[in-house]
Amino acid sequence: MKKIVALGPEGTYCDVALKKYLKQINKTYEIDYYPSIFRISDYIDSNTLAIVPFENTLDGFVVEAMDQIIMNNYNIISQIKLDIDFAFVSNAKNLEDVKKIYVSFKALGQCSKFISENNFQTIKCDSNIEALNNLNRWDNSYGAIVPMHSLENVNFNLIIPHIADSKSNETRFFIISNEKIKEELTDEVEASLVITAKHDRPGLLFDILKCFDDLNINLKSIMSRPMKTEMGQYRFYFECSLYKDDIEILEMLKNMFKTNQDFILQILGVYNKL
């Protein structure tokens, strides 16, 4: 049986999103869990896919996942969106008694107002469920920020629900593979591209954007990421919206950049619009 890995342990939002995705496509995979988003490449192979958090409405892109996908040239198969909601829990009787809290690296950015208002010292974790599990090991001066759905099986003296900076909190996740796998596409699709400049020069970004404009491609987002080889060297991540019947325009774009020796273009994936 083919495998798919999610940021674990079981019960994380990544796990919830994965199970929602498997239900939508009506397929069965063996699910494994990996401890850190920085170790995706340790698990993906020809028989194993992965799901990663990629963008949050409050905290923006998950650059750790973006860099892993770009550097390993993974293929983006699909995307799925999930509502995100956090709670604060502790065995303390009063909020003032809590000095330190466990919080995942992404929940930290999504619950920054609550954390700042209470002047907590934060202890970062790789996942929300790890934060919950760590809390059980310490005294009442500790707390944790955990997913709302994890409260069903826990019992704490202090529970404060809905602590995210905004009620409009969503995360989208990418399903990724190290091979080109195509899923059935609907009429409206999106694509992820990476463009690497071989040499820095004035007008570099303008020339890149002009290619998109010449082909009338609707850009959704653009982000620069460091090459991590030399200071001041960057690559550019793009997302664009298309219709399924117009996907061949991406090959035209690719040919335009082949003609211009200053750039290298990678098509990371074409997937259904949410």
When pLDDT is cut at 50, 70 and 90, the band that residue 144 belongs to is: very high
pLDDT per position as a tens digit, 201-238:
788 888 889 989 999 999 999 999 988 777 777 899 99
Predicted confidence (pLDDT) per residue in 64-121, tens digit: 999 999 999 999 999 999 999 999 999 999 999 999 999 998 899 899 999 999 999 9
**At CB < 8 A and 24+ separation, what contacts does 198-202 make?**
198/261, 198/262, 198/263, 198/264, 199/262, 200/232, 200/233, 201/262
Collapsed DSSP state (helix, strand, coil) of residue 36:
coil
Mean pLDDT of the chain: 90
Supply the pLDDT for residue 28.
87
- pLDDT band, residue 9 (cuts 50/70/90): confident
Structural contact between residues 70 and 237, judged by C-beta atoms closer than 8 angstroms: yes
Of residues 178 and 198, the one with the higher pLDDT is 178
Predicted local confidence at residue 55, as pLDDT: 95
Cα–Cα distance for residue pair 35/40, rounded to 1 Å: 9
Bridge pairing between strands 100-104 and 142-147: parallel
Q: State residue 76's pLDDT score.
A: 97
Q: What is the mean pLDDT of residues 121-134?
A: 90
Place of tokens 């799925």: 80
What's the pTM?
0.89
Dihedral over alpha carbons 192, 32, 148, 61 (to 10 degrees): -20
pLDDT tier, 260 (very low <50, low <70, confident <90, very high otherwise): low
Name which residue leads in pLDDT, 179 or 87: 87
Q: What share of the chain is helix, strand, coil (3-state, %, to 5)?
A: 30, 35, 30
Contacts of 260 (CB under 8 A, 6+ apart): 207
Calpha distance 40→5 (Å, rounded): 9
Query: Residue 149: exposed, middle, or buried by beta-carbon count in 10 A (0-12, 13-18, 19+)?
Result: middle
